[in-house]
C-alpha cells in the first residue's frame, strides 16, 4: 500500500483512541480538501502489509480502533482488503473497529472496492463539498453519509454523544500536523492564530 503517514493516538476520527492511516493518492481532487498533499499517487511511500500492520499494532497498543483516510483508500482496494484481513487476524488488533473514509459512493464501487469496504465496520462515503458544512459526527460536508456495516460498527458508531470531534494538532520532527475534519474557516483561523503566536506555516497541505 502507498501511504502518506500513520499516527496514534487519534481521538477525533472515530470513537476512543485510534490509529490513523492516511493513504497516498487521490484522483477525486475535491475542491477545498485539507489534505491535498495526499493526492499525488507518486508521493508518500510504499509499504508491505506486514510492515504496515506491525507499525499499526506497535503504535496502537492502547487503541481500540483503526481509521483509514487519505488520499482515497478505495483507489487501492486490493491493498486495503489485504490490510483489513491482516488486522482482523492479528491478536494485537483483533476486536478493533475499522472506519474507512472514502469519497466514492456505494453505487460507484466495483467488485474489488466492495470487497475491501465490506471488511470495515463503518464507512463515511461521498465527495467532500466545501460549501456544505457538515453538522453531524464524522461528516466533513452535509452530503456525506455514515454507513455502519457490522454489529460492532452499529454499536460503536450509532451513538456519537461524547465521541471524538474537533481538531487534533500534533507537533513532531516532521512539523505540525492537523488531524480531524475542519469546518469552514477553521484552517484560516488556525493559521492566523499560529502566526499571531510567531509560528509561520510552510508547505501547508490544503494549498499543496
Number of structural domains (the chain) is: 1
| Residue 188 forms part of a structural domain | no
Assess contact for 74 and 29: CB atoms under 8 A.
Answer: no
pLDDT of the residue at 127: 97
Could you tell me the CA-to-CA distances from 186 to 89, 138, 193 in Å, in that order? 39, 16, 10
| Residue 51 forms part of a structural domain | yes
pLDDT of the residue at 62: 94
| Those residues with Cβ within 8 angstroms of residue 185's Cβ, 6 or more apart along the chain or in another chain | none
| Residue 111 forms part of a structural domain | yes
For residues 37-43, give the mean pLDDT. Answer: 95
Q: Is the pLDDT of residue 113 over 70?
A: yes
Between 67 and 207, the more confident residue is 67
Domain that holds residue 83: 2-166
| Residue 205 forms part of a structural domain | no
Q: Is the pLDDT of residue 29 over 90?
A: yes
| Residue 158 forms part of a structural domain | yes
pLDDT of the residue at 204: 65
CATH code of 140's domain: 3.20.20.70
Residues in the chain: 208
| Residue 187 forms part of a structural domain | no
pLDDT of the residue at 203: 67
Q: Is the pLDDT of residue 162 over 60?
A: no
| Those residues with Cβ within 8 angstroms of residue 189's Cβ, 6 or more apart along the chain or in another chain | none
Q: Which of the residue ranges 13-22, 77-86, 152-161 would you say has the lowest mean pLDDT?
A: 152-161
Q: Using CB atoms within 10 A of its CB, is residue 162 exposed (0-12), middle (13-18) or buried (19+)?
A: exposed
pLDDT of the residue at 150: 97
For residues 146-163, give the mean pLDDT. Answer: 83
CA dihedral 31→36→39→44, nearest 10 degrees, is -170
| Residue 174 forms part of a structural domain | no
| Residue 203 forms part of a structural domain | no
Amino acid at each position: 500500500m502507498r501511504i502518506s503517514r500513520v499516527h496514534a493516538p487519534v481521538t477525533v476520527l472515530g470513537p476512543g483512541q485510534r490509529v490513523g492511516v492516511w493513504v497516498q493518492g487521490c484522483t477525486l481532487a475535491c475542491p477545498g480538501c485539507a489534505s491535498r498533499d495526499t493526492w499525488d499517487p507518486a508521493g508518500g511511500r510504499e509499504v508491505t502489509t506486514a510492515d504496515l500492520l506491525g507499525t499499526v499494532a506497535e503504535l496502537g497498543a492502547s487503541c481500540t480502533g483503526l481509521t483509514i483516510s487519505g488520499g482515497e483508500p478505495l483507489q487501492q482496494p486490493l491493498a486495503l482488503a489485504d490490510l483489513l484481513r491482516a488486522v482482523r487476524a492479528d491478536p494485537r488488533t483483533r476486536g478493533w473497529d475499522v472506519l474507512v473514509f472514502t469519497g466514492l459512493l456505494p453505487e460507484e464501487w466495483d467488485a474489488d472496492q466492495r470487497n475491501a469496504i465490506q471488511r470495515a465496520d463503518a464507512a463515511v462515503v461521498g465527495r467532500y463539498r466545501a460549501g456544505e458544512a457538515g453538522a453531524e459526527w464524522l461528516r466533513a460536508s452535509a452530503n456525506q453519509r455514515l454507513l455502519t456495516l457490522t454489529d460492532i460498527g452499529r454499536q460503536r458508531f450509532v451513538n456519537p454523544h461524547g465521541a471524538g470531534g474537533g481538531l487534533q494538532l500534533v507537533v513532531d520532527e516532521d512539523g505540525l500536523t492537523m488531524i480531524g475534519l475542519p469546518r469552514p474557516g477553521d484552517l484560516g483561523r488556525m493559521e492566523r492564530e499560529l502566526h499571531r503566536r510567531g509560528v509561520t506555516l510552510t508547505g501547508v497541505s490544503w494549498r499543496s
